[in-house]
Amino acid sequence: MRLAAFEWLQEQVLIYGDVLPRDILEKGYEYQGERITLIGPSGIWKPRQFTLPLSITTVYDNPYKDSLGGENFLYHYRGEDPYHRDNAGLREVMRQRVPLIYFFAIVKGRYLPTWPAFVIKDEPQMLTFTVQIDDKSSISSDSAEANIRYFNNGTIHERSSQNGALLLQENEDYVRRSYISATVKVRLHQKSFRERVIEAYQQQCAFCRLKHTELLDAAHIIPDSDIRGEPLITNGLSLCKIHHAAFDSNLISVTPQYRIAVRRDVLAETDGPMLRYGIQQLNNQVIILPNNKKYWPDRERLETRYERFIKAG
C-alpha cells in the first residue's frame, strides 16, 4: 500500500505539477477496492488501513514552526506528550526505517510533496524528530535491511557481526540524505516564492492578464543572487513565461510608478504580431497589481531594476 501511495503521488505530480491542492490528497487513491487518503486533520497521518503513519505535514503558518535550519528537517511532536499515539507511531516508523511522505504547505491548501522521508532521530526533551529526505530510487519493497539495524533515540544498534561495513553504509546514507535534504530546502523556498507571488496577483500575468497558472512564473525584481533579492512577494512579479524572459533580458521593465517600459530599439522593430501585440503595445501601460496593497512591488527595488534596464538599452 505504501509503494502504491508513492506511485500514485508521482502520477499526480506529472499531471498537476510539483505543488498539489489539498483536496486531491484528501481524496487519495484506490487500493484493492479501498480508498486511502494521503493527508488528514492530523499532521502525522495514518490512514485506517495502515499500521504505521504514511505522511507528515507542515501546515501553513504552523504553530510549531518546524525547523528548516541545519542540514536536515526538525518535525515537532504532536502536542507535548511523547507517548501520544501519533508520536509513538513516528517513533516506530523510525525504528523500522519505514519511508514517509513529507508534505510542505507552500500556501494555504497547497503542498509540495517530498518522498521518501525518513525519521532518523527522536529527541523527547526537545519534542522533535529529525527527518531526512532520500532519493526516490532508494525506495524498494525489499525491507530486509530493516531487520539488521534498529534505532533507539537516534542511536544505531547493530544486529550483525559485520558492524564496520554496516556503519560505513549508514554514514554514506546520512551524507547522501543530508545533501538531498539541502536541495529540497532550496526547492521549497523557490516553490514557496512562486506560489505566494502568483496567488498575490490573482493567478494572472501582471502584464497581459494570462491566467493559465502552468504558464506563469514568479519573476524576481532584484535577482536572488543579489543581497537584496529576498524571496518576498514585494520583490516579485507574476509574469507569463514570455514576459518573464523579456523582463529578465531587459527588453521590458517596470518603472517605480508601476508602468511598463519597452526598450526603444524593440519599439522600433517590425517582427510580426507577437512583438506588436505581446510586447510593443504594453509600453506605458500600468501593470496589474495585487488586491492587497502590502504586496505591491517595492518601489526602491523597481527603481534599482529600472536603472539597470536603462543602462542595458
Segment 291-303 shows an average pLDDT of: 97
pTM of the model as a whole? 0.74
- Could you tell me which of 59, 55, 21, 61 has the C-alpha nearest to residue 39? 55
Average pLDDT of 237-246? 97
Average pLDDT over residues 25-38: 96
pLDDT score recorded for residue 175: 81
Partners of 216 in the beta sheet?
240
Residue 265, pLDDT above cutoff 90: yes
pLDDT of residue 130: 93
The more confident residue out of 8 and 152 is 8
Give me the DSSP letters along 52-117: S--EEEE-TT-TT-----SSSEEEE-STT-TTSHHHHHHHHHHHHT--EEEEEEEETTEEEEEEEE
- Of residues 174 and 76, which shows the higher confidence score? 76
Which comes out higher in pLDDT, residue 74 or 160?
74
* pLDDT reported for residue 62: 53
3 pLDDT more than 60: yes
Give residue limits of the domains in the chain.
2-197, 203-312
Tell me the pLDDT tens digit for each residue of 130-143.
999 998 877 755 44
What is the rounded average pLDDT of the residues 275-279?
92
Is the CB of residue 252 less than 8 Å from the CB of residue 261? yes
Is residue 96 scored above 60 in pLDDT?
Answer: yes
* Cell, residue 51: 499500521
When pLDDT is averaged across residues 21-49 and rounded to a whole number, the result is 95
Beta bridge partners, 236, equal 220
pLDDT at 40 over 70: yes
